[in-house]
Chains A and B, each alone.
Chain A
Amino acid sequence: MNAAAMAALRLMGGVILAGLAWEAAVVGFGIRPHLLPRLSDIFAAIALTPGAYWAGLQRTAAETLIGFAAGTAVGIANGLLFFRAPVLRDMLLPVFVVSQTIPVIAFGALVVMWFGNTLMAKAVIAFYLTFFPVTVNTLLGLNSVDPRQAALLRSFGATPTQILFRLQLPMALPQIFVALRLGASLSLVGAIVGEWFGDNTGIGVLLLQAMYNESVVALWAAILCAALLGTGFYALVAWAERRIVFWGAEQ
């Protein structure tokens, strides 16, 4: 606990130091504010309308989480299905690959036509970016299990379900988590891009408004919010990985 507190303190110190360096560099080198504004100006902008940023953060987080959860569930289910039924894998996996070649920007326009400006529409885009890497890595993880270990368990009388949950899935977890960490970033991208198709709330909306109004301070404020959300979510997945795959996750 003490070590964790120290680590948190060190991290905080690092962040504060980076912030001070930013502020000092802008003031010291006289960087023009439309290239890089002062960090304190950015915080002041957030403090001016904290409600908008907080609402955006919550909304984008909800879209990201729903899309990520659905993508994870469907991805793992797909992986299992393809592992058990190679025929399906040969039939469907190429379709999935083709689906991933559609630029997310084009896909987003379609999703808006189907779902309108709903939270679901953004979650669907986040899902679309997440499920594929999870599918592929689940399959990869399951396929990498030594068949002799499965044969051994089978010789002890284990059922296929038991083999799956006791051996194959746990062995595939490190691979799955690689995809989940990727998915954590991708689902946030999906949610933000989804918000570029005409909505009122969200980090993506704030980004777009700032960009097209050439309001550099607001742009940085939105970027900081997105970074906060992305880092937080990634840290959460990494933390879950350390807890669940305690025997040695790929870091």
Chain B
Amino acid sequence: MNRRHLLAATGAAAVTPFIRPAGAQTLTRATLRLKWLTQAQFAGFYVAQQKGYYREAGIDLTINPGGPNLLTENLVASGADTFGLSGGTDSVFAARERNLPIICAGVMHQQTPFVFVTRADGPIRTLADFRGKTITTWFTGANFVLLGMLAQAGLSRGDFTMQPQQVSVQPFVDRQVDVVTATRYNEFFTLMQRVGRDNLRTFVPDDHGITFPRDTVIVSEQTARDRPQTVTAFLRATIRGWRDALRDGKAGVDAVMSVAPTLNRPHQEFMMEEAGKLMVAGGAAQNGLFWIDRPVVQAAHDFFLRHEVIKTRLDLAAAYNSSFLEAIPLADRMA
């Protein structure tokens, strides 16, 4: 942490002048590393930052976008970033299994954010029809969700062709593959644009009893232990930002597009809407935003253990810590 700050200070401070606002003495400097590039999926964080909610909570926050070559867990564990919005329950499991000293302090998406998509006019009507078909999916966890779903339909690995999905959904559009994986808020928009909503059939993991919460807020064990108030303050400001963004999606998209102006607005507005649905679903409806739904996390853990994605049983009570959220009154956490 110190070394990185020293190095960054020698470089960055000389180049980019940093204007300290009044009362800066009381602000704690912190960074948030997102799981992906700047987009409406993270609108609440940008709203909270631009409306000064983090400052009011005593945090001078820098939001660092993620990208294809970054693993948020590593950056938070190494101290390069204070907070992280990481992949999801799956990546937290993987990190804990590797003994990375990170914990999850909140869960953003309460439902599985991705679905499996086929053509409505195609031969696939049920999961059993996946037999003999070509499927592309992400080999970062989604593949196991699909294997789990297909196992329920009596299909095993040899019964279909599963390939890693590349950046583009175009192979599906061009009918080169039969099934494509899409996040509800991102790839699905592209599919709707190129194929048409009515021509798509979706298979939703949650309908088959597999819920896979994603987009987890993580901090290092050290931060959680030494600065629990900062973690709570961060969550409080974040939830304030998200409540605003969920209430006024257009303003949420504005906040994002002021940072990344080349984004496609209709796509971002769709994303805002769909990501918002995932946030208020499930346990969040009664327990507020970012709720850690323990039975769901436990079920996801057991599912991964059963499929040998993780080899050892994890101490979930240590890995998922709701105490920072519970320090915020429930009324303030409701969407």
Using CB atoms and an 8 Å cutoff, list the residues of chain A in contact with chain B: 34, 45, 49, 51-53, 105, 108-109, 112-121, 123, 196-200, 205-206, 208-215, 218, 221
Please judge, given known A-B contacts A113-B80, A196-B68, A198-B64, whether A215 and B31 are in contact too, CB under 8 Å: no
- Pair A211/B167 contact, Cβ less than 8 Å: yes
Please judge, given known A-B contacts A34-B170, A118-B11, whether A209 and B16 are in contact too, CB under 8 Å: no
Contacts of A200 on B, CB cut-off 8 Å?
38, 65, 259-260
Q: In the bound complex, how far is the Cα of B163 from the Cα of A197, in angstroms?
A: 26
Contacts of A45 on B, CB cut-off 8 Å?
262
- Pair A116/B167 contact, Cβ less than 8 Å: no
- Pair A116/B68 contact, Cβ less than 8 Å: no
- Pair A209/B11 contact, Cβ less than 8 Å: no
Contacts of B240 on A, CB cut-off 8 Å?
none
Contacts of A221 on B, CB cut-off 8 Å?
262
- Pair A115/B68 contact, Cβ less than 8 Å: no
Known contacts A52-B262, A199-B65, A213-B264; 16 further A-B pairs (Cβ under 8 A): A116-B31, A116-B64, A119-B12, A120-B10, A120-B11, A120-B15, A197-B70, A198-B66, A198-B67, A205-B37, A208-B37, A208-B68, A212-B68, A213-B267, A214-B167, A218-B262
Q: In the bound complex, how far is the Cα of B262 from the Cα of A51, in angstroms?
A: 10
Q: In the bound complex, how far is the Cα of B38 from the Cα of A118, in angstroms?
A: 17
Q: Does B321 contact A (CB under 8 A)?
A: no
Tally the A-B contacts, defined by beta carbons under 8 Å.
Answer: 105
Q: Does B69 contact A (CB under 8 A)?
A: yes
- Pair A113/B4 contact, Cβ less than 8 Å: yes
Range for the number of chain B residues in contact with chain A:
35 or more
In the complex formed, the residue of B with least CB distance to A206 is B262
Most B CB within 10 A of own CB, among A118, A198, A206: A198
Chain A interface mostly = helix
Q: Does B30 contact A (CB under 8 A)?
A: no
Contacts of A115 on B, CB cut-off 8 Å?
4, 7-8, 11-12
Contact with A along B263-305 (1 / 0, CB 8 A): 1100100000000000000000000000000000000000000
Residues B28-72 near A (CB distance < 8 A): 31, 33-34, 36-39, 62, 64-70
A–B Cβ pairs within 8 angstroms, 8 of them: A115-B4, A115-B11, A120-B10, A120-B12, A196-B67, A198-B67, A214-B190, A215-B264
- Pair A109/B16 contact, Cβ less than 8 Å: no
Residues B151-207 near A (CB distance < 8 A): 167-170, 190
Contact with A along B1-36 (1 / 0, CB 8 A): 001100110111001100000000000000101101
B327 to chain A minimum Cβ distance, whole angstroms, is 29
Please judge, given known A-B contacts A49-B262, A112-B75, whether A214 and B68 are in contact too, CB under 8 Å: no
